[in-house]
């Protein structure tokens, strides 16, 4: 009788999918930067600029920062916005500006969005004005 060879599953790297092994010190720094208002992209860019390798040895990205914050129980809601920016948007709205015009003004004033980019969409502004799904960072 011939012995049958069963293909083996590739061995994992010893880490569950979505698990990021980051030092406690670095986790504390990520949390502190996020609480102070740095966007996920800004945190990733800072670590990459400093030459700090990500958990898997590569570059930091918004996704790796989000995963680390989520593991710490921190809110990383998609529509997060700094309180001062929300107040500015609401003031412009009270002054009669449309969502389209507010988006243009925010870009003209170089106000970064929740991703740290100076790009605003009227739909996002509309959600903020209506008090939609975004949360506010203080």
Identify the band that residue 88 occupies on the pLDDT scale cut at 50, 70 and 90: very high
- Name the nearest CA neighbour of 99 among 90, 110, 87: 90
Task: Give residue 65's region: left, alpha or beta (phi > 0; psi -120 to 50).
Answer: alpha
In-domain check, residue 90: yes
In-domain check, residue 3: no
- Name the nearest CA neighbour of 72 among 10, 27, 34: 27
In-domain check, residue 62: yes
Same structural domain for residues 58 and 86? no
Mean per-residue pLDDT of the chain: 79
Segment 101-128 mean pLDDT: 89
Above 80 in pLDDT, residue 10?
Answer: no
Same structural domain for residues 66 and 85? no
Question: Tens of pLDDT along 27-57?
Answer: 899 999 998 989 999 999 999 999 999 877 8
Segment 16-35 mean pLDDT: 79
Same structural domain for residues 59 and 88? no
What pLDDT is attached to residue 77?
66
In-domain check, residue 89: yes
In-domain check, residue 125: yes
Same structural domain for residues 65 and 85? no
Question: Which percentage of the chain shows pLDDT scores above 90?
Answer: 36
- Asked if residues 67 and 21 have their Cβ atoms less than 8 Å apart, the reply is no
Which of residues 16, 46, 71 is at a domain's end?
71
Q: Which domain holds residue 54?
A: 24-71
In-domain check, residue 40: yes
Same structural domain for residues 85 and 133? yes
The radius of gyration computed from the CA coordinates of the chain, to the nearest angstrom, equals 21
Question: Tens of pLDDT along 59-77?
Answer: 999 988 888 887 766 767 6
Same structural domain for residues 107 and 66? no
Same structural domain for residues 89 and 51? no
Task: Give residue 112's region: left, alpha or beta (phi > 0; psi -120 to 50).
Answer: beta
Identify the band that residue 97 occupies on the pLDDT scale cut at 50, 70 and 90: very high
In-domain check, residue 60: yes
Number of domains in the chain: 2
Identify the band that residue 21 occupies on the pLDDT scale cut at 50, 70 and 90: confident
pTM recorded for the entire structure: 0.46
């Amino acid at each position: 009788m011939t012995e049958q060879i069963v293909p083996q599953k590739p061995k994992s790297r010893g880490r569950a999918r979505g698990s990021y092994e980051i030092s406690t010190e670095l986790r504390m720094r990520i949390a502190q930067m996020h609480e102070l208002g740095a966007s996920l992209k800004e945190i990733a860019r800072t670590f990459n600029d400093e030459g700090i390798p990500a958990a898997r040895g590569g570059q930091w990205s918004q996704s790796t920062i989000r995963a680390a914050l989520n593991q710490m129980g921190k809110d990383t809601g998609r529509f997060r916005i700094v309180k001062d920016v929300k107040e500015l948007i609401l003031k412009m709205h009270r002054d009669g500006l449309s969502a389209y015009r507010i988006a243009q003004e925010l870009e003209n004033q170089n106000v970064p969005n929740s991703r740290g980019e100076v790009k605003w969409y009227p739909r996002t502004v509309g959600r903020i004005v209506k008090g939609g799904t975004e949360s506010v960072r203080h």
